[in-house]
Amino acid sequence: MVSRLLISFSVCFIFFLTSLKSQDLDVNLNSNEDSFEYEQDFLSAEFHKSRRDSLRKLLPEGSAIVFFSSPERNRSNDVYYEYHQNPNFYYLTGLREPNSMVIIYKELQRFNSFETNEVLFMQSRDKNSELWNGRRLGIERAKDRLKLNAILPNKDFLTFNPRFDSLRAVFFDSPFALEDGDTTSTDNLNGLFYHFSKKNPTELKDNQRIEGILMAQLRQIKTEEELVLLRKAVTITCEAQNKLMQEVNENMTEFQTEALVEFVFKNNGAEYTGFPSIQGSGENSCILHYTSNRRPLIKGGLLVSDIGAEYHGYTADVTRTIPPTGKFTKEQKIIYELVLEAQTAGIEAAVEGASFWQPGLITTDIIAEGLKKLGIIKHKNEVRKYFMHGTSHYLGLDVHDVGTYTPLVVGNVITVEPGIYIAQGSDCDPKWWNIGVRIEDDILITTEGPENLSTCSPRTVKAIESLMEK
């Protein structure tokens, strides 16, 4: 009886909510228009416009480029993952909503009622959806806030002529992991565009992914406005690492250390983690991207904490390796200080004009020589047994940000993160087994040399043990 009553009530309630769409909900939805944005430190509309203008300069004559917002992704049943925008799309528009598309033309285009060199298609406001899921920006507010030359409802793409037949080339960039969708729905502009391209194959003369070509050139050099947000993300991440050093003890589990650092993220305004937090202890310290985070720390060993807060789109990536007991053992200290020596030299090599790979070459050579002296390897060319990953990657809107991997230039932000991982059963003295160490910092390339953005968290043995002292 109770179940039937609940079902009956649910049906009536859903019917009632559906009927609200035809009623005036403006008072409820619009009474707090000024509070649509609760924070004022997002990237400015002028920043996004400058990025579109810079991209336009890189486009060949007579071309256009198309970007899509990320789709909403289903987690299970009627539950969806928390939404995250396609970084390329956000970089160029500032819009953080799904179901959107932007076309950027090299030259000014004349349409029936207007002329423009850019068109944004986005979802309109919907009273019922906003009641359940929060306010949408809407076309009119977008015109005021985003400052694009032309903004249209996404349904208008059904009848819009993008004039691709008059262009020499049309490039397009699709976000990763697109879900299949209805190619006739205005809520799936990527599907619509795909459908359009199949119907008009001669109009898309030069399709290719452009992330590694044009967007990499732009995004690898951070502006001062971007660096404000990136520094904020790094500061939050360092604070989390420091809090972990102060609070960790052997009675905790890996997932409790994860909860501790992610509390600091959220408590300081970070919207997301930049990637799943890596909290690998003991044998798990030797697994590079370990994210299960279930092991009790009382089983011993070091804790590799590789974490990054994401603030307004920009993510940090800072790794510290700490002893849950508060003190490194003799063997742990030897391996740790070898990694630190290599990292310090790698950071010093991250200078304007140097090869992107130079920090990695230097750190690898130092680690190889050190492991040979310790008798862990016999020949330096065996170093990849215990240091098997790259030393650097770009950092920004993605934790592994796009870039050209050409010589370093002012405005690049890269990581320097050497490591040594000696798993149980390795071909060396068992006293070294299950020692995994990684030290990672975020480095800005400047005219004055490398600037370590993450010095706010200690990385020497002495400083770490001092902070951990209870």
Which residues on adjacent β-strands are paired with residue 116?
109
Provide, rounded to the nearest whole percent, the portion of the chain with pLDDT above 70.
Answer: 84
pLDDT the model gives residue 31 = 43
- Side-chain half-sphere exposure of 38, counting CA atoms within 13 A: 2
State the pLDDT at residue 284: 98
Given the residues 438, 442, 459, 465, select the one marked as catalytic. Answer: 438
pLDDT at residue 470, as a whole number: 76
pLDDT digits (tens, 9 = 90+) for 79-124: 999 999 999 999 999 999 999 999 999 999 999 889 999 999 999 9
Inform me whether the pLDDT recorded for 299 exceeds 80: yes
| Cβ count within 10 A of residue 344 | 20
Residue 215 Rama label (left phi>0; alpha psi -120 to 50; beta):
alpha
Confidence category of residue 25, pLDDT binned at 50, 70, 90: very low
Q: Is 78 a catalytic residue?
A: yes
Among this protein's residues, is 440 annotated catalytic? Answer: yes
Q: 183 in helix, strand or coil?
A: coil
- Please give the mean pLDDT across all residues of the chain: 88
Looking at residue 200, its pLDDT comes to 54
For residues 370 and 168, the model is more confident at: 370
Q: Does pLDDT of 13 surpass 90?
A: no
Task: Pull the structure tokens for residue 198.
Answer: 């199949």
Please pick, among 317, 441, 442, 465, the residue that the annotation labels catalytic: 317
**Mean pLDDT value of segment 46-71:** 94
pLDDT in tens, 412-445: 999 999 999 999 999 999 999 999 999 999 999 9
Beta-ladder partners of 80:
74
Q: 421 catalytic, yes or no? A: yes
pLDDT at 368 over 60: yes
Tell me if residue 48 is catalytic: no
289 included as an active-site residue: yes
Lowest mean pLDDT of 129-143, 165-179, 214-228, 286-300, name the range: 165-179
Residue 317 is among the residues annotated as catalytic for this protein: yes
pLDDT of residue 263: 98
**Residue 14 — very low, low, confident or very high, per pLDDT cuts 50/70/90?**
very low
Q: For the chain, give me the number of helices (H) and strands (E)?
A: 13, 18
Cβ burial 103-127 (10 Å sphere, 16+ → b, else e): bbbbeebeeeeeebbbbbbbbbbeb
At residue 228, does pLDDT exceed 80?
yes
Distance CA 208, CA 363 (A): 36
Confidence at 297, pLDDT banded by 50, 70, 90 = very high
The dihedrals phi and psi of 111, each to the nearest 5 degrees, come to: -110, -175
Beta partners for 102? 67, 120
CA distance 284 to 304: 8
* Shared fold status for 40-217 and 220-468: no
Query: Which of 90-94, 159-163, 246-250, 403-407 has the least mean pLDDT?
Result: 159-163
Catalytic residue among 211, 400, 405, 451: 400
Please name the CATH architecture into which domain 40-217 falls: 3-Layer(aba) Sandwich (3.40)
Q: What is the pTM of this model?
A: 0.90
Look up 180 and say whether it is catalytic.
no
Residue-level pLDDT at 23: 37
Which residues in 276-344 belong to E strands, given as ranges?
A: 278-281, 303-307, 309-311, 314-315, 318-322
Res. 72 pLDDT band, cuts 50 70 90: confident
Section 137-157 average pLDDT: 94
Assign 3-state DSSP to the chain and report helix, strand, coil percentages, each to 5. Answer: 40, 20, 40
Q: Specify whether the CB–CB gap between 250 and 325 falls below 8 A.
A: yes
Active-site residue identified among 84, 389, 405, 451: 389
39, 61, 78, 144: the catalytic one is: 78
Confidence of residue 164 (pLDDT cuts 50, 70, 90): confident
Read off the tokens for 427: 């071909």
Q: Give the pLDDT score at 33.
A: 52
Rounded distance, CA 443 to CA 358, Å?
14
CA nearest 303: which of 274, 331, 332?
332
pLDDT of residue 197: 61
Given the residues 231, 320, 421, 465, select the one marked as catalytic: 421
The catalytically annotated residue of 254, 393, 401, 441 is: 393
Residue 216: other Cβ atoms inside 10 A: 17
- The residues spanned by each domain of the chain are 40-217, 220-468
**How are strands ordered across the β-sheet holding 309-311?**
272-273, 309-311, 314-315
For 220-468, the fitting CATH number among 3.40.640.10, 2.70.150.10, 3.90.230.10, 3.60.15.10 is 3.90.230.10
